[in-house]
Amino acid sequence: MIYVPETIKSAFSALALNKIRTFLTMLGVIIGVFSVVSLVAVVQGFENYITDQFDALGSNLILVTPGIGEGQDPSRAFMGNKLSLKNIDAINLYVGDKISAVTPSVRIAKTAEYKTKTYASTVVGGTYQSYSIYGLETESGTYYTKSDDSKKANVAFISSDVKKELFGDRNPLGEKIKIENTSFEVVGVAKPKGGTFDDRIFIPDTTLKTAFNVEVLSSIAVKAKEGQDPEELMREIKVALLKDMRVDDFSVVTQKDVLSSIDQILGVLSSALAAVAGISLLVGGIGIMNIMLVSVTERTQEIGLRKALGATSKNIGRQFLTEAVVISIGGGVVGLLLGYLATLAVSSFIRATIPWWAVVLAMGFSIFVGIVFGTYPALSAGKKDPIEALRFE
């Protein structure tokens, strides 16, 4: 048989006499813990999603993007975009022996049509090498070829979501989809890859530029050969590009650099959201203190009677403090359970997880709130004079 201290028994008994009030007192802690856990889990889900996307591309991918000069508005970077095909020639000339593939990337948002069905997609223009650079896999058909690229062929390799929305169970190979006023023959379908890759339509970059009158490149993607140091290769690519461009005209980043920057942003966001949610716990703590002070006043005669029967001030204070801690821990457990259920619901959309530190933080803070905000009512109860308490009406 498990031994339960008399103080804890008395605390549970006292709280059970006012179930509704006890629950309402817990509510602030429940909301606070639920907010901390669920918000951190969602941010963690976004971080996992982004990490999965970068893992799918591989660690040896290097991106050349339009540069942002000192003091320049990032939103204006693409307006002064100076990336061009001659930059790809420079990369091939100076580091061609260290890379396995390089492709321009031109991305535009367009709506694809097939008969009466439409789908808002991202059209991605690149060379035939974009297949290996993006780590695509074929479900049916083939990717477009080098010959298609040079002939500016109107062919398209569609992702799984595009196929599902436009064709359903129908075989799309050989069918024509329309993007604006141009028709493209579907030559292949990609296997599901996850994230943004599943809503894309891949076409030759030469075709995209001609069909949609696009001149600038969104970026240049370079895949390093196995065994090459991406950081060293990145520096060599910078040197090659500086032959024709200024240092502010471009940026060269590795997957690691981009992921690190995103992790820092999400880390700050996670901390900020946890801090905001922590305010709910403080409000809950104030609610606990308020209700416990009311409880001390209501139970003044009980306190006097207990002291008359031999209870010390320390015994009385310990019981009221125990009640406050039980309320906060109970609220923390319920909030944690609700946060877990919310995470399960969200995980069907993104890979949301609850990190261990969020559980420790939420529960530790809820216990801290119970102790801090329960101490004053406990001291107040313990200081009651037994004679005056017995006379209290």
pLDDT reading at 97 higher than 70:
yes
Q: Higher confidence at residue 267 or residue 344? A: 344
Provide the token pair at 165.
Answer: 């929305």
pLDDT computed for residue 353 by the predictor? 80
Average pLDDT over residues 119-137: 89
pLDDT band at 300 (very low <50, low <70, confident <90, very high): low
Least confident piece of the model among 29-43, 163-177, 296-310, 346-360: 296-310
Per-residue pLDDT tens over the stretch 305-348: 666 667 677 777 777 778 778 888 888 888 889 988 888 888 77
Q: Can you give the pLDDT at residue 370?
A: 78
Greater model confidence, 177 or 364: 177
φ/ψ of 341, rounded to 5, equals -65, -40
Rounded to the nearest integer, the mean pLDDT of the chain is 79
Contact 350, 53 (CB under 8 A): no
pLDDT at 232: 85
Say whether pLDDT at 21 is over 50: yes
Residue at 176: amino acid letter: K
| Residue 91 burial class via C-beta count within 10 angstroms: exposed 0-12, middle 13-18, buried 19 and up | buried
The pLDDT assigned to 385 comes to 56
Q: Are strands 219-224 and 176-179 parallel, antiparallel or unpaired?
A: unpaired
Residue, of 302 and 132, whose pLDDT is higher: 132
Task: Name the range with the highest mean pLDDT among 85-89, 117-121, 196-200.
Answer: 117-121
**Confidence band (pLDDT; 50, 70, 90) for 75?**
very low
Residue 82: exposed, middle, or buried by beta-carbon count in 10 A (0-12, 13-18, 19+)? middle
| Amino acid in the structure at residue 326 | V
pLDDT band at 257 (very low <50, low <70, confident <90, very high): low
Q: How far apart are CA 30 and CA 38, in angstroms?
A: 12
Q: What is the pLDDT of residue 357?
A: 80
What's the pLDDT score for residue 332?
A: 85
Local structure of 349: helix, strand or coil? coil
pLDDT above 50: residue 389: no
Average of per-residue pLDDT across 42-48: 77
